[in-house]
Amino acid sequence: MTHKGTKTKFDYWLNKMPVVAILRGIRPEEVVAIGCAIHAAGVGIIEVPLNSPQPFASIKNLSDALGDECVIGCGTLVNKTDAKRVAEAGAKIAVTPNVNPAIIKKCIKLGMLPAPGWATPSEAFAAYKAGAKILKMFPAATYGAGHAKAVAAVLPDDVTMLAVGGVGANNAAEWLAAGIDGFGIGSEIYTPGLNAEEVSERTQIIVNSINLAKQNLRNI
């Protein structure tokens, strides 16, 4: 799939349910069952952080099983060597905790969508200049929805802004009202030891809460 095609699929899922499921600590032998449960509950963007056990195997397993329907990617990417490995494993989106123009450009060259983590307007603009159109405010709870709203007001119109870190079902409405386009949600969806049924139930709660928040926002 081309970079453009991946962005189209990413936008489709973000519009349908603005959640990136973060499976930190997932193992390769369980990732497909967990991923299928998340997809069935209505979330179609899934990332495996690289500080998980055997993350490249998990990404490959997920990509092989769900790559046609979902956008599969990695999280916590911090070097170009790993960028190549996750691309070879089938990742289509690469989420980083910081802004590194070299990694952003490498991801684009490899056909992946980079989603770098930023905290300040300077970092957000540096990421955009390097070619990133998906910008991850991190850690979101530290800075707050007001910070996101203020920065969003000055960013280019083609930026997609995600909030990650301390955001979830309980405060989704506040962040959506601030102009956030989507959320990265980890432990509310998955923590090591949970089975597919438990993850499905957790994901459904989040989906229902965010759908309600979106509906309420439209009614204002």
Catalytic residues: 47, 136
46, 62 in Cβ contact below 8 A?
Answer: yes
Count of CB atoms situated within 10 Å of the CB of 62: 29
Provide, for the chain, the percentages of residues in helix, strand and coil under a 3-state DSSP scheme, each rounded to the nearest 5.
Answer: 50, 15, 35
Per the rule left: phi > 0, alpha: psi between -120 and 50, beta: everything else, 171 is alpha
CA 142, CA 139: separation in Å to the nearest integer? 6
- The helix or strand, by DSSP H or E, that contains position 45, with its residue range, turns out to be strand 45-49
Residues 6+ apart with CB under 8 A from 122: none
21, β-bridge pairs: 46, 185
CA distance 172 to 168: 6
Closest listed residue to residue 203, CA positions, set 191, 219, 193: 191
Residue listed under structure tokens 């179609």: 44
Q: Is 21 in contact with 190 (CB distance < 8 Å)?
A: yes
